[in-house]
Amino acid sequence: MNKKFWLIASLLLIASIALSACGTTPEAATPEATKAPEVTQVSEATVAPTLAPGAPLPRNETLYFNGQQWGPVVCWNPYSSSCNNALGIAQQDNARVVMFETPYLYNMLDGQVYPLLADGDYAWNDAHTEITFKIKAAAKWSDGTPVTAEDVAYTWATHVKYSTPTGSANMDYIDAIEAVDPQTVVIKAKLDEDGKAINPLIVASYVSSNYVIQKAWTQTLEERTGGDATELLADTAEDVVYSGPYYKFFADEAKVVFIRDDNYWGKDASMWGKLPVPKYLAHAMFKDNAAGFTALQAGEVDVSQQFNANIQDLWLKDNLPISTYLPDAPYGIGASLPTAFYNLQSPGLDQVAVRKAIAIAVDYDTIIANAMTNQSATFQQVPRSLMNPTPGEQALYDHDAVNDLQWAGKDIEGANKLLDDAGITDSDGDGWREYNGEKLSYVATCPNGWSDWQAAIEVVAAAGKEIGIEITTNYPEWAVYQTVVTKSDAPLPEGYDIFMMWSDGAGPTQPWSRIRHLLSSEFVGMASNWNGNWGQYSNPDVDELIKEIPGETDEARLKEIYTELVKIYLTDIPSFTLMYRPQSFHAVNESVWTNFPHEDDGTEPPVPPLDLTDGWSIAGLYNLTLVAE
């Protein structure tokens, strides 16, 4: 009896092990990564035409991503901004054009836009109130019908009719988008009292940041949802018609996979002249950065869009075929300026001397070396201003004119002198300075768990001690933090004296939009302010200058305005930049694919390091080749 029992038990055990082993096979797709180069010979030509969704993807036809998609995809609806479909839908300055397409593609490296669905450059009329552009004759929808001007017009009409996020963001600046004939689109700007466009910059940026969606499909969608805005935005749109080179292959909780549409119109000679190289684009949902990092290390990820601390160790120490856009620090192109804002209503922080003293005492080199592990340009390399480090923006202001206002940081002596001269001294001998008899004591804060920001805030706080200003740190949860910081219709509460937020990256409306978001007083008083100027700075001169930029076409005058703004920014110091951060992190593993964009790679126009999905960087998908061993 006993023996029999054990026999049966062990048989059961074996059976269950065997079963569980079978169960895990579909997930075994990725470990093939390391041996992929051997099979290059048989690639491309022999492609299994039909692959069951969920089956292991052929490694040498698949480009794997990380750092973009963190949870399961909710929908495929290009009208909605809550689809959590990171690889598929992102209407932004550098729009993600994998599945849906914009008329133009923005290239952050040269600041130009290049036609995609559009044919040739767009043109302003003489009064600078209307933009006209043509649609490529070759452009087709996935159902084979041509993309027409009518589609562009109807997309806009739908955005307005249903007040989609895109609609509300542009409604104040775009009056109408009309189809003159099937190929010609006219965008009419909203005009002010003087008959000038309110904001030509935003009007122009529409063509490179918003998708064109098919009219026929939109009508189907409207019919299905009965004209209800909420339902329209909530529709999962599994049947959506698209114009891009990839479409949904399958998506579940663990992975989302796009497959190439071999009938993609872009293979026409008027656009790319060929298909993008990888047949599949895949993105596994990683638990966190550490998991994504391990996958990149193992060659299971080709393109990494996440912050990988000490990335250089991967090639210097581990000898892995991993590289970044630039060979040395900062490894990428900085595009946005993570910024520490002052609460200008905190006692003492209304004094420029105090703001400046803290700002010049902070040790920025340590922030960049420790918090960003050197993945940011230093302020010696790119002096502070309102511009990001791209050459295009740097050329927009006069560096020499603001030279005297610059600071390198860690200037304890200077900060102390500044405070002493302003009469802000330690009068009661407790080691901390007082202003109006009140001890200068502040809380520096950022959201909990945002490790690089937290590390930066620690360095800011450390500077306080050196100059007799008490700065303690505190890290509320993001849920709390964001509601407090974005409430601009009342003074910020205690505990938010110095706080970190982002600023705009690279885009067709930059640096104007970034400057507006950093300095414009129009956001003060908003109950829910996701735009900027969270420290509630207000300066009528600045507002005037910001208003002047979009309509200004004279470059000399523009440079004058930008220089003036930088001057005011560095004098008033309502906030200060702590580091430069790339638009997207971009590291690639060349175990399987190679010929990724990198500095001086000879591409013309240069392909920006935006993960081969955003704006002009999608051009990189056409240049990839398999690693030949």
Partner 1 sequence: MKHTIRQIFRSGKFVVGFSIFVTILLIVIVYPLIITGEPLGIIGQGTFFPPGIYVSVYDSIGSPSYTLFLDDAAAKRIASKLSNDDRLAMKDWLIADGVPENQIDITDTEKLLDLWEKEYDPDKGLPGMTFAKQRYYQRLNDSLEGLLSTEAAIIAAKNAETGVLEETGVVKQSDYVNVGEVASVRVLPFGTDNFGRDVLTELVAATGVSLQIGLVAGLIATLIGLTLGLLAGYVGGLMDDVIVFITNLFLVIPTFVLLILISFSIGQEQRGPFVIAVVIGFTAWPWTARAVRAQVISLRNRDHVNLSKLSGHSIAHIILTDILPYIASYVIMALILQISLGILQEAALSILGLGPKTTEDPTLGLMMQWAMIYQAHILGKWWAYFPPLLTIALITFSMNLMNTGLDQVFNPALRD
Interacting residues toward partner 1 by CB under 8 A? 289-290, 293-294, 297, 308-310, 313, 315-316, 319-323, 327, 365-366, 369-370, 373-374, 448-449, 451, 454-455, 458-459, 462, 472-477, 480, 495, 590, 594-596, 598, 627-629
Kindly list the strands in the beta sheet with 587-589, ordered across the sheet, starting from the edge strand earlier in the chain: 246-251, 255-260, 280-284, 62-66, 303-304, 587-589, 322-324
Tell me how far, at minimum, the Cβ of 499 lies from partner 1, in Å. 14
Q: Which residue, 164 or 374, has its beta carbon nearer to partner 1?
A: 374
326 versus 526: smaller Cβ distance to partner 1: 326
CA angle (485 as vertex; 481, 487 as ends), nearest 5:
125
Distance from C-alpha of 136 to C-alpha of 118, rounded to nearest angstrom: 5
Q: Shortest Cβ distance from residue 249 to partner 1 (Å)?
A: 27
DSSP string across 593-619: EE----TT---SSPPPSSTTTBGGGGG
Taking the complex as a whole, how short is the minimal distance between the CB of residue 369 and partner 1, in angstroms? 4
> How far is 616 from 576, CA to CA, in rounded Å?
31
Q: Are 343 and 351 in contact (CB under 8 A)?
A: no
Provide the minimum distance between the beta carbon of 14 and partner 1 in the complex, in angstroms, as a whole number.
Answer: 34
Report the distance separating Cα 304 and Cα 591, nearest Å. Answer: 13
Q: Compare residues 182 and 449 and give the one whose CB is closer to partner 1.
A: 449
CB burial class (10 A; 0-12, 13-18, 19+) of residue 438?
exposed
Phi, psi of 623 (to 5 degrees): -100, -10
CB of 587 to partner 1, least distance (A): 10
**Smallest distance, partner 1 to C-beta of residue 312, A:** 10
Cβ closest to partner 1, residue 518 vs residue 626: 626
Closer residue to partner 1 in complex, CB, 231/313: 313
Cβ proximity to partner 1, 189 vs 459, nearer residue: 459
Instruction: Quote the least distance from Cβ 442 to partner 1, whole Å.
Output: 14
Read off the tokens for 476. 């509320």
Return the number of the residue (474 or 539) whose C-beta is nearest partner 1: 474
- Least distance (Å) from partner 1 to the CB of residue 295? 11
Instruction: List C-alpha distances in Å: 620 to 159, 278, 297, 311, 595.
Output: 31, 11, 22, 22, 8
The H-assigned helical ranges of 189-338 are 200-209, 215-225, 229-234, 289-297, 313-316
Q: CB 102 → partner 1: shortest distance, Å?
A: 29
CA-to-CA separations, 486 to 209, 345, 479, 603, in angstroms, rounded? 25, 15, 11, 41
In the complex, the smallest distance separating the C-beta of residue 76 from partner 1, rounded to whole angstroms, is: 34
Those residues whose C-beta lies under 8 Å from the C-beta of residue 430, and which sit 6 or more positions away, are 439
Task: Decide if 99 contacts 258 (C-beta within 8 A).
Answer: yes
Report the residue number, 497 or 504, with the smaller CB distance to partner 1.
497
Q: How far is the CB of 418 from partner 1 (least distance, A)?
A: 23
Give the whole-angstrom CA distance, residue 349 versus residue 572.
11
Report how far residue 71's alpha carbon sits from residue 85's, in angstroms, rounded to the nearest whole number.
9
Whichever of 371 and 573 has its CB closer to partner 1, that residue is 371
Pick 11 or 290: Cβ nearer partner 1? 290
Residue nearer to partner 1 on the CB measure, 268 or 458: 458
Helix (H, G, I), strand (E, B) or coil at 64: strand
Phi and psi at residue 178, to the nearest 5°: -125, 150
Residue closer to partner 1 by CB (options 451, 483) is 451
Look-up of token digits 């700075």: 537
Q: Which is nearer to partner 1, 299 or 505 (CB)?
A: 299
Closest CB 519 distance from partner 1, rounded Å: 30
Pairing mode, strands 434-435 and 438-439: antiparallel
Identify the sign of the CA torsion 366, 367, 373, 376: negative
CB of 609 to partner 1, least distance (A): 12
Closest CB 628 distance from partner 1, rounded Å: 4
Judged by CB, which is closer to partner 1: 99, or 607? 607
Beta-carbon-side half-sphere exposure of residue 116 (alpha carbons within 13 Å): 32
CA–CA separation, 136 and 117 (whole Å): 6
Residues 6+ apart with CB under 8 A from 618: 97, 98, 105, 276, 612
Whole-number Å distance between alpha carbons of 360 and 153: 51
CB 200 within 8 A of CB 44: no
